[in-house]
């Protein structure tokens, strides 16, 4: 293989897109069940039942790992600062919309630092720490473990709980703080850099026909994320109104 870049910025990475699409589908199913519980159509405790808590952890982990993989691909393709900040602004803007929408629906537990807020901050950290190379693996482990050993009431307020070193989980519908979740994105970034160097076909190889819809969905992950809950909740409210 020649010495040029493995991908151009315009290339798609079907397997990465499909993995992101899988996370989207998993999230949509999870949120639909959450909505059913919110409208008391099923009996489920999403804030205490380990079955649902573990699923949430898995979904967020997959999302952030994919975000790290995507950053590795973008950096390898030579993504410029303007393009990075344009995409970052889209994510940050959507995060603000999520906060506003959740404040209307859940005024006592609105989302001040959820998954999009976390991704926006972590993308900046990953962008400027990508040069750490192999150190990303131990850095990621340290980020994951630190909240298990360091907590302080100073971080319990809404102004500071984004750090993650809280003594108690805040009352909110979504909470994805910098720590420990930055560790997962760092691992995704480290894994992506390794794959690009050693196994480039794993990210951009051909997909089975059945998996291609997941790749399409993965390319529109942000749009799907922003639209799926209003549509699900609206459909359930309509169904309840006409039932």
Identify the CA nearest to 103 among candidates 174, 27, 177.
174
Tokens read off for 170? 């805040």
Q: Residue 12: its pLDDT value, please?
A: 62
Question: One digit per residue, pLDDT tens: the chain, 243 residues?
Answer: 333 333 333 346 889 999 999 999 999 999 999 999 989 998 888 888 999 999 999 999 999 999 999 999 999 988 899 999 999 999 999 999 999 999 998 899 999 999 999 999 999 999 999 999 899 999 999 999 999 999 999 999 999 999 999 999 999 999 999 999 999 999 999 999 999 999 888 887 788 888 889 999 999 999 999 999 999 999 999 999 998
Look at residue 54 in the predicted model and tell me its pLDDT. 95
Beta pairing partners, 113: 175
- Name the nearest CA neighbour of 219 among 74, 53, 75, 18: 18
* Domain ranges for the chain: 14-242
Strand partners, 175: 113
- Give the helix ranges, DSSP H, for the chain: 14-38, 50-76, 81-105, 115-129, 136-149, 178-198, 201-204, 212-219, 221-242
pTM of the model: 0.90
Largest CA distance in the chain: 63
What is the pLDDT at residue 3?
Answer: 36
The Cα 26–Cα 85 span in angstroms is 28
């Amino acid at each position: 293989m020649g010495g040029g870049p493995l991908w151009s910025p315009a290339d798609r990475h079907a397997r990465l897109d499909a993995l992101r699409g899988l996370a989207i589908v998993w999230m949509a199913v999870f949120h639909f069940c959450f909505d059913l519980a919110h409208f008391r159509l099923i009996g489920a405790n999403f804030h205490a039942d380990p079955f649902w808590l573990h699923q949430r952890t898995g979904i967020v982990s997959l999302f952030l790992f994919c975000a790290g993989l995507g950053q590795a691909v973008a950096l390898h393709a030579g993504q410029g600062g303007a393009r990075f900040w344009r995409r970052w602004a889209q994510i940050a803007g959507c995060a603000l919309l999520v906060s506003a929408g959740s404040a209307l629906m859940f005024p006592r537990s609105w989302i001040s630092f959820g998954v999009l807020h976390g991704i926006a901050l972590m993308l900046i950290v990953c962008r400027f720490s990508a040069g750490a190379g192999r150190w990303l693996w131990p850095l990621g482990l340290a980020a994951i473990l630190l909240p298990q050993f360091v907590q302080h009431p100073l971080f319990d307020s809404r102004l500071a709980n984004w750090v993650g070193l809280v003594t108690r989980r805040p009352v909110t519908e979504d909470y994805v703080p910098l720590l420990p979740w930055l560790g997962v994105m760092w691992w995704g970034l480290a894994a992506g850099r390794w794959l690009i160097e050693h196994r480039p076909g794993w990210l951009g190889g051909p997909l089975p026909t059945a998996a291609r819809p997941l790749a399409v969905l993965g390319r529109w992950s942000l749009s799907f994320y922003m639209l799926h809950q209003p549509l699900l909740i609206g459909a359930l409210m309509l169904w309840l109104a006409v039932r």
